[in-house]
Chain A
Amino acid sequence: MSNVENNNEYSIIFSGVKKAYGKTVVIENLNLEIKKGERLILLGPSGCGKTTTLRMIAGFEEITSGDLFMDGEQVNDLPPGERNIAMVFQSYALFPHMTVWENITFGLQLQKLPKDEIAKRAKEAMEILHLEGYENKKTHELSGGQKQRVALCRALVKQSPYFLLDEPLSNLDAKLRQKARTELVKLHEMFKPTMVYVTHDQIEAMTVAHRIAVMNQGRIQQIDTPYNIYHHPANTFVAGFIGSPAMNILEAQVLNKCLVIGQSAVKLPQSLREQIAAREKVYFGLRPEACTPAFGDAMIKGKVDFVENTGNLQTATLRLADGASLYVQDSHQDAHLEECTGVDFAWENVCLFDAETGVNLELGGK
């Protein structure tokens, strides 16, 4: 542990952290190392423990057991106000009785900074976030997007090394969200604080993160770059959670050098045969966009249930012989997906998962 404490590369370290409310254990054994200056996204479904993790960093949730280090210092019992953290809340948490200026400078005034320093910092931050001219407005006079920028601004003026964001964009409409995402990344590039960002929106996670920690039921399922999370999901949960529509995960029997998927037998390539031969069953994972619609003879045969057209893409749902469904995505607008008879695929796009544990066998894709 001592070498971890002194490691400067990591700025926040969870070491065997457990969080329980009475007898309900929310986080079992969290080990997470967040690098200095990185954008780490905690991603997962509701109730997976991501917000609790963030709130433990902020100091709002006590740690039941284990250790939390920030910059090498154990902070389990350090009060939130002494952790030098800036945070953006989901509801923005702007003080309704104060003006924009008062909101932004509130923290600095509590720190008793000199007046000109406060004014300088606030003006700079407001300029970056295009908030000039709003100084004297009350928060109820602002739109959702403006409120969000004031909340960011309030966090920014603190010039804190840690930037925590709890679903900061979830109250914005789709168009604003996209813009805010880009601004957020630019802002981070300017000041490079250690950023921990909680979201359940995978697009947000993929576009903002250096690394994503996918969580489920209080455990980290995988922590890696957005690329690896997408292309090499650690298990069926991650595979099924990331991507829209999610990865197709089908039960496959191993039979005589073949995989039987929905009653279609697909010949295994030489490289995989020996590794899989001992198994009876695996899960076969294939991204919808890695499926090539086949018209005629197909590797996996199926019937089209229906086709959705979203303008740039067509998504077909295929019903396989055993009743399982398979999503196929195609960007060719002139393809008549409703006539397709099945799909072809390349083995390098396939993920195979252990039938019992759901763990990626890392055979197909690599």
Chain B
Amino acid sequence: MKTNLASWRDEWGYHLLLLIAVFLMLWPIVFMLSTSLKDLNQVFESTLNPLPFPPTFDNYTNVLENFPLLTYIWNTFYIAIIVTLSKALTSVLAAFGFVYYDFKYKETIFNGMLLTFFIPITVLIMPNYLLMAKLGLLDTPYGVMLPSLVDGMGVFLMRQTMRGIPKPLLEAAILDGATPWQILRKVVLPLIKPSVLAISILFFINSWNEYFWPLLILQDKSNLTLPLALQMFISAEGGSEWGVAMAVATLTSLPPLVLYGFCQKFIINTFMQAGVKG
């Protein structure tokens, strides 16, 4: 009897637990999707029923017609793409230095950089905000970008990936007279391309979804990013526009979701490498 119970637990028990966890995580997304397809009456009559009946696309037409969605998409994209490119570039260059060069205090500098992971964002917000104010970058996209042009986690992940490249490959290139730049471009980068792509996507998604920092910096409506624009439907401006808000939310979360879907394999591999070899 016991063994039966144990085997049931092994076969179904863990799956059941995982299913519950998946449900809990997916529920808000299901809720968002279904609400975006309901009209206002349905939203209040059957709040927890995930099936909109009949489904309506009015919210989406409403958003696309009356809402400067393209401006917000562009604002968000502009910031996300520059932050992503900058973080990817600096991560690869810094990791290359940490892996292939020997210099004084290398480990200390690297450990110092790791320490930055553990500084809570709330501690950084004040000084960063004051700095942006002094630089006159408040209410500009540059004020949003500047503090996030470099990423310690990115350097760490790239370093782990580069350490996985066998040393003789680089020595062979060195013997052939390759300069460090040629080694990076012709040997290292092609080999770590999947990982660079993976962290770039993570950087992009993170920047796309960022809420708190842009909220502090951006004020003018025409400068807002998508997560901030979303806020307009839920707070002061129209507390009851749930359907429209959810339609905007769905549209906002689409690009990161699609990106992740395409590149899931690379992303998981990159973290596995960091875990196994770190």
- Which A residues contact B (CB, under 8 angstroms)? 58, 60, 79-83, 85-87, 89-91, 93, 95-97, 106-107, 110-111, 154, 158
Contact = CB atoms under 8 A, between A and B. Distances in A.
Contacts of B187: 95
A58 B175 contact: yes
Given A81-B175, A93-B168, 14 more contacts: A80-B171, A81-B176, A81-B178, A83-B175, A89-B168, A93-B171, A93-B172, A95-B172, A95-B173, A107-B176, A107-B177, A110-B178, A110-B182, A158-B176
Contact of A97 (B168, B173, B182, B190): B190
A107 B187 CA distance: 12
A85 B186 CA distance: 20
Contact of B171 (A86, A89, A106, A110): A89
B189 to A, nearest CB: 9
B171 A81 contact: no
Interface of B: 166, 168-169, 171-178, 182, 186-187, 190-191
A318 B94 CA distance: 64
Contacts of A97: 190-191
B177 A95 contact: no
B273 to A, nearest CB: 16
A150 to B, nearest CB: 12
B179 to A, nearest CB: 8
Contacts, number: 52
Chain B, interface SS category: helix
29 contacts: A60-B171, A79-B174, A80-B174, A80-B175, A81-B174, A81-B175, A81-B176, A81-B178, A82-B177, A83-B175, A85-B175, A87-B175, A90-B168, A91-B168, A93-B166, A93-B168, A93-B171, A93-B172, A95-B169, A95-B172, A106-B176, A107-B175, A107-B176, A107-B177, A110-B177, A110-B182, A111-B176, A154-B172, A158-B176
A87 B177 CA distance: 13
B177 A93 contact: no
A91 B166 contact: yes
Nearest to A88: B172
A83 B187 CA distance: 21
A305 B191 CA distance: 57
A86 B176 CA distance: 8
A95 B172 CA distance: 9
Kindly name the residue among A85, A86, A95, A154 whose own CB sees the greatest number of chain B CB atoms within 10 A. A95
B178 to A, nearest CB: 6
Contacts of A79: 174
A60 B176 CA distance: 13
Contacts of A89: 168, 171-172
A153 to B, nearest CB: 13
Contact of A93 (B169, B182, B190): B169
Given A91-B166, A93-B166, A95-B187, A106 B173 contact: yes
Contacts of B176: 81, 106-107, 110-111, 158
